[in-house]
Structure 1
Amino acid sequence: MIRRIALFLATNLAVLVLLGIVMSVLEKAFGIQPGQNGTLLVFAAVFGFGGAMISLLMSKTMAKRSTGAQVITQPRNEVERWLFQTVERQAQAAGIRMPEVAIYDAPDVNAFATGATRNSSLVAVSTGLLRAMDRDEAEAVLAHEVSHVANGDMVTMALIQGVLNTFVLFLARVVGRTIDAMLSGNRDNDGGPSFFYYIIVTVLELVFGLFASMIAMAFSRWREFRADAGGARLAGRGKMIAALQRLAGNRGQSTLPDQIRAFGISGGIAHGLRKLMMSHPPLEERIRALREAA
């Protein structure tokens, strides 16, 4: 769990720092001066939302490639036929267009949904899930993923990440200029920042990025509770609870790539500060929430 969290943080912070470096180069090239916060905010928004939107638009293609998921176009056997018909029925009940349905080869009991819009999405299940779960439990997992799509969680997550990226990039530069001015004795070097300004900004991006990740993960945990409730409505509360109990009894290292791990159904165990960086609530909490809602 610690290694997974560290890898997730390192990946997200590395992307943020890369965006920051590119923005710093353009900031210098366009000669943005202290006090031009409006222009700076526009630059930050372009880069902050740009990265998040590109990731969203590429999410389905990247998910297929990274997991090796095989989309079911014409069901070849009874299992694929059942998967396709179940998702089709649930999509109609949820009021969304039929998602692509796929199977990917992995030993862990997992599934995920992704896609740029509610009507252009992908629902995929692992071979490990098909082996470990009965039909009722698998139906509930599919309902959970269809609920993610119906709730627009992928788009909302991208928008939240865009807002967070924007403010990280913007605040790092505003605070960085203030610290740089203090360190230089408020001397005006032709209105341009010193060399240390860029070091300060990079450090601040890492610090602010860490807090931004905590906010993004808090939303991710909340949307899991909401998708569980949606899965209970589509498949039945008993089936949803049974599916989560099965997941709790089949804990293991997720094989989902980092960029789509937050969209998987399975959750882990963490306590204290580590819990703040979890994309999913502990399964015991999710089961308890469904039982209390009943």
Structure 2
Amino acid sequence: MNRSALRTAMIAIGVSLLIVYVAAALLVYELVVFLVRSPPNLATALVTVGAMTVLGAYFSYRFGTRQLLAGLDAVEIDRRHAPELFRRLERLQSSMDVDRPRVVVARLGVPNAFALSGIGSGVIVFDLSLFRMLTSDEQEAILAHELAHLERYDALVQTVAYSALRTLVGLVMIPLLPLLLAVTGIARGWAWIRGRPDVWNRNPLMLVYQWVSLGVTVLVVGLTMLVRAHSRRRELAADDRAIEVTGRPLALARALRKIQRAGERERGLLATLYVRGDEDGPLTRLLSTHPPMDDRIDRLLDRAGTDPLSGHRIPVE
């Protein structure tokens, strides 16, 4: 292809891109105008948004939970495999408003346990190492903590919160979409017409795109911080509920300390999925799903009447 033909082809591509993007922007704009001029009544809008949030949360939780357990190669256990654990589970269950959960064991890569709540009974996942690392009392304390999450449907509530966040961001993006499509189309189309398709994102108009993206990012981060703050409060509430039903805050403190120290030595598949809040930096802590482990342990020591500054150390077996 000679230079003239190549130049003609690039101009044609640029014009085509411009037409496609602008047409899409006009189409979305007309939809936005229609919604503004003929808005649904408040009840219908709330029901629609609520339904979108609930359906999104349901599919995310239902299939996400199944995929997570399948990816972990988790194995369900019963009383035959861990009679002492199930005896303590039954005793705790009788003191809490929670259905009998399934207990599954997996190799998580780091010592950890977590609960997946749902409609009806939930699932408690134990890392295999916890059975050899923790004493029976410490296992019971961790079990009570996870049952507290199931009792309050914490995992399900978090999933609904994230679904609501995605829905809200989607609603914010709808009126902004025509502008973003038009700006992107003009920048890409003009870059092809000029013969410089690789520098389309340097067009001054892309500053508008960047500022809009920044605003949406700030919104997402702000809402995420609120959800994560709720998650951290629920962790502390689960600690409190665990010692309420077991009466042994030191057992939970010892279990957390062992998990913390073992986790510092090993980092595996789920290390990045369960942020403990121990990393330095205020932003990292604000985005953590868990409070710092040391803070949790100090709270438990306080509940046990132990002064963490007195020199007393939590025994680690």
The TM-score, its normalising length taken from structure 2, stands at 0.66
Instruction: Give CA-to-partner distance per residue, 1:5-35, whole Å, 9 cap, x none.
Output: xxxxxxxxxxxxxxxxxxx99x949933262
Distance 1:63 1:115, change over 3 A: farther
Shift of 1:173: 3.3
Find the aligned partners of 2:220 and 2:75 in 1 and give their Cα distance. 35
1:120 paired residue number: 121
CA distance, structure 2, for counterparts of residue 65 and residue 218 of structure 1? 29
Q: Is the 8 A contact 1:56 1:115 kept in 2?
A: no
Contact 2:250 2:300 in 1 (8 A): no
Q: What pairs with 1:1-294 in structure 2 (closer than 5 Å)?
A: 28=28, 31-33=31-33, 35=36, 45-73=50-78, 75-76=80-81, 80-117=82-119, 119-174=120-175, 176=176, 204-235=215-246, 236-252=248-264, 253-256=267-270, 261-262=273-274, 268-294=278-304
What residue identity is the alignment partner of 1:32? Answer: V
> What letter matches 2:251 in structure 1?
K
Task: Quote how far apart the aligned CAs of 1:150 are.
Answer: 0.6
Given that residues 117 and 149 in structure 2 are in contact (C-alpha distance below 8 angstroms), is that contact kept between their aligned partners in structure 1?
Answer: no
Name the structure 2 match of 1:188: none
For 1:255 and 1:83, locate their aligned partners in 2 and report how far apart those are by CA, in whole Å: 26
Is the CA contact (8 Å cut-off) linking 1:59 and 1:114 kept in structure 2? no
Whether the 8 Å CA contact 2:72–2:106 is kept in 1: the answer is: yes
> In the alignment, is the contact (CA less than 8 A) between 1:92 and 1:98 conserved in 2?
no
8 Å Cα contact 1:60/1:121 also seen in 2:
no
Deviation at 1:225, TM superposition (A): 0.4
For the residues of structure 1 that align with 2:54 and 2:212, how far apart are their CA atoms? 19
User: Post-superposition shift, 1:279?
Assistant: 0.9
Q: Distance in 1 between matches of 2:255 and 2:32?
A: 54
Say what the alpha-carbon RMSD is for the aligned residues.
3.7
Deviation at 1:178, TM superposition (A): 9.9
Aligned-residue identity in percent: 23
Pick the structure with greater CA Rg: 2
The amino acid that maps onto 1:218 is A
Partners of 1:110 and 1:126 within 8 A in 2: yes
Q: Supply the distance in 2 between the matched residues of 1:59 and 1:152 (Cα, whole angstroms).
A: 16
**Alpha-carbon distance in structure 2 between the residues aligned to 1:158 and 1:103:** 23
| Alpha carbons 2:99, 2:121 under 8 Å: kept | yes
Tell me which amino acid in the other structure corresponds to 2:31.
G
Report the 3-state secondary structure (helix = DSSP H, G, I; strand = E; otherwise coil) of the residue aligned with 1:32.
helix
Moved more, 222-231 or 237-246: 237-246
Consecutive unaligned residues in structure 2, runs of 5 or more:
1-23, 184-204, 305-317
- 1:15 equivalent in structure 2: none
**Distance in structure 2 (CA, Å) of the matches to 1:37 and 1:255:** 50
Residue in structure 2 matched with residue 7 of structure 1 by the alignment: none
State the Cα distance separating 1:229 from its structure 2 match: 0.8
Unaligned runs of 5+ in 1: 1-23, 184-194
In the alignment, the residues of structure 1 paired with residue 49 and residue 251 of structure 2 have an alpha-carbon distance, to the nearest angstrom, of 45
Query: How far does residue 273 in structure 1 lie from its aligned partner after superposition?
Result: 1.2
CA distance in 2, matches of 1:199, 1:51: 28
Q: TM-score, normalised by structure 1?
A: 0.71
* Structure 2 letter corresponding to 1:242: R
CA distance in 1, matches of 2:51, 2:37: 16
Within 2, Cα distance between the matches of 1:166 and 1:30?
21
Distance 1:288 1:67 in 2: 32
TM-aligned CA deviation for residue 105 of structure 1: 2.0
- The Cα of 1:55 is off from its aligned counterpart by 1.5
Counterpart of 2:269 in 1: which secondary structure? Answer: coil
8 Å contact from structure 1 (residues 172, 201) kept in 2: no
CA deviation vs aligned residue, 1:172-218 (integer Å, no higher than 9, x gap): 334x27977xx9xxxxxxxxxxx989998766544422222222211
Query: d(CA) in 1 for partners of 2:166 and 2:38?
Result: 16
